[in-house]
Each structure stands twice: as structure tokens, then as C-alpha cells.
Amino acid sequence: MSKFLKFIVHFIVICTIVCVVGLAVPPFLGITTEIMDDSGKETNLPMGSVTYAIPVKIKEAAVGDSILYQTDSKAYRYMITEMDKKNHIFKVIDSSDKDAEPVAVEVKDYIPKVVITVGYAGYLLLATESIEGLIILGLAVLFLVILYIVAELLKKEPQDDYDETDTEPGYVKSKKELKREEKAREKRYKEEERQIKKEERARRKGKAPERKKIKTGGFVDEIYEVKDWIHSCFKVVEVRDYLSQPKPSGYRSLHVICEVDGCLVEIQVRTIALDFWANLEHQIHYKKHIEDEDLICSELKRCADEIASLDLSFQTIKDRVKG
């Protein structure tokens, strides 16, 4: 919704800028501009339109050209039907009127050849010539400002409560969302570092046991760093390495069984990509009777292999970046 509102604001602003430039700049470039207002001129041009014409030499004019014929009380767009260049007399006709008869007009050495007539653009200038028009323009500007503020308010999302998993399957994150996700990770890392420093200070004072500092980001080599950290904190009873020896289903993970306060606890460590596969495989297949089970298992195994290959590719990229 916020993007749609901002699009409307930007569209109106751009159109306004184009109109202002189109009205103000051409006269400085030698282009004749005829803006139709309610001045009472005799004309065949639409009310509120702007007609642009460039001066050309009389010898360059040709039958069929549209010219802008202007006097103090008239402004007509005519089409040339006959030319007497020697005496500067042209016969022209109002092409917008099917019943119009040709009329003779006297022209100078240079005549304004019509390039284009733009409808409604002149109303912007007409609005500035009356108090009512200025009030309407002011209200329009105020409306745009309010619309822009509303769009900004709708766009804002709480940074601290950002949840990376709060997206639907198949959703493609935008650059802004990826930046927010990165900021959220950095914030968590900083909080972990502060907690570790706090524990380190407490340990030095004899109030807390020493713990190894660890930072994880989802790469394969960090799984074994986590395993070493677990060894330093708990009594490890058994390690089941399904990374080096995957299950027939394609499942890959590192299971560490620890003894905590007399109880056995299993800690499963895997990358984000492998965890993604494990969660979906559990929803689709775990302890369920399904048709074409062999085909489904084969497809799940293929997906697991592709994800494992992707993990290794990212590990290689990380190693190259670290040099």
C-alpha cells in the first residue's frame, strides 16, 4: 500500500514538473508557445491547450504543413493549401472544420510551424491567474505532502522485532528486507558478544565458569566449531556425524548427545539450508503413509544432495573471501 501511495505522489510530482518545464523553458529556446486561456481570443485551439511551434523560413514551408497564425485577437492553427511565397500570401484552411473554406493570410519571412498541441497542460498556468486556482494548487500540494507522510508511516516496520522466518514459502525478499535481516543478525551478534564479555568479567571474579566464545553464521565449518564449543561446556556422551555419513534419505546433521544435570540431551547442529530441508521433509514424509513413496523419497534425496552441494559452494566462497 505504501508503495502505491508513493507511486501516486511521484507520478503527480513528475507530471507537474514536466508541465512547468514545458511552459517555462520553450520561449527561451526560441519556440513559439500559445497557451489558450479565457482571454477571449478567436481561435480553433482547445481551451487549456498549449501549442508549440518553431520558426521556419518561408521558403522552407510546404503545402500540408500546419502553421500557427497569431494576431492580437486571433490564434489559429491552419494547414497550408496554396503558397505565394513571392508576395508572402498563403491560402490556409482550418483542418479541424470539415466545412471550412480556404482563407488568404499574409505571412512574414519566418512562419511558426506547429510541432504539437498538448491538451490540458495550460490549465496549470490558468490556475495561477486566480485566487481560487491558487487555493486549489495549495490544497493539492498539502494533499501530496499528507499522502507522502502516510506512505512513509505505512512503510515503517519495527527493526528490533524483525523475524527472518516470518515469510511465506516462495517469497522473494527485497533489498530493504535483506538489509533489515542483516542488521538484525548484526544486532544479535553484538548482544551475544556483550553477553560473552559479561560472563568473562564474571568468570574473572570467580562468579561464572569459563566459556569459549563462538559465533555461528550457517556455514559447514562452523558446525564443527559448535561441536567443540559443546565439548567445552558439557559432558559429551556420543557424537553422531550424519554430515560425513548422510542417512539414506539424504538427511545431514551433527547430533551431539550430552549429559546435563544427570539427563541425556541431544543437540542437533546443521546449516540453515540443511535445517530448511529437514523441516520440510518432516512435514511431508516423516511417519506418514503416502502413495508413490519411492518416487517421493527419491525426489527428497535429490533435493538434499542439491542443498548439500549449495552449502559446500558457499563454504568455498567464504574460504576464498577469507583468503
Q: 247 and 307 share a domain?
A: yes
Q: What is the helix (H) or strand (E) element at residue 148, kind and residue range? A: helix 131-155
203 & 281 share domain: no
Hey, is 209 helix, strand or coil? Answer: coil
Same domain, 43 and 8: yes
Do 7 and 103 lie in one domain? The reply is yes
Domain range enclosing 247: 232-322
Q: Assess whether 124 and 20 both reside in one domain.
A: yes
Under DSSP, is residue 51 helix (H, G, I), strand (E, B) or coil?
strand
Same domain, 71 and 18: yes
Considering the domain architecture, whether residues 25 and 88 belong to the same structural domain is answered as yes
In a domain, 56, yes or no: yes
Which band of pLDDT confidence, cut at 50, 70 and 90, is reported for residue 323? Answer: low
User: Has residue 139 been placed in a domain?
Assistant: no
pLDDT at 87 over 80: yes
Query: Nearest to residue 276, comparing CAs of 299, 304, 297?
Result: 304
Q: Do 180 and 282 belong together in one domain?
A: no
Same domain, 315 and 271: yes
Tell me, yes or no, whether 151 lies in a domain: no
The domain tally of the chain equals 3
Q: Are 82 and 16 members of one domain? A: yes
The answer to whether residue 26 sits within a structural domain is yes
| Residue 285 CB neighbours (<10 A) | 14
| pLDDT at site 155 | 63
The answer to whether the beta carbons of residues 259 and 237 sit under 8 Å apart is yes
Residues 6+ apart with CB under 8 A from 128: 134, 137
Give me the CATH number covering residue 42.
2.10.109
> Which residues make Cβ contacts (< 8 Å) with residue 165, sequence separation at least 6?
none
Structural domain contains residue 280: yes
Structure confidence at residue 159 (pLDDT): 42
Tens digits of residue pLDDT in 40-83 = 678 888 887 888 888 888 888 888 888 888 877 778 888 888 88
Choice among 51-65, 139-153, 193-207, 259-273 with the minimum mean pLDDT: 193-207
* Percent helix, percent strand, percent coil in the chain, to nearest 5: 45, 20, 35
Q: Which amino acid is present at 28?
A: F
Tens digit of each residue's pLDDT (9 = 90 or more) over 165-200: 444 444 455 667 677 777 777 777 777 777 777 777
Q: Report yes or no on 141 lying in a domain.
A: no
Q: Are both 171 and 242 inside the same structural domain?
A: no
Asked if the structure places residue 52 within a domain, the reply is yes
Q: Do 119 and 48 belong together in one domain? A: yes
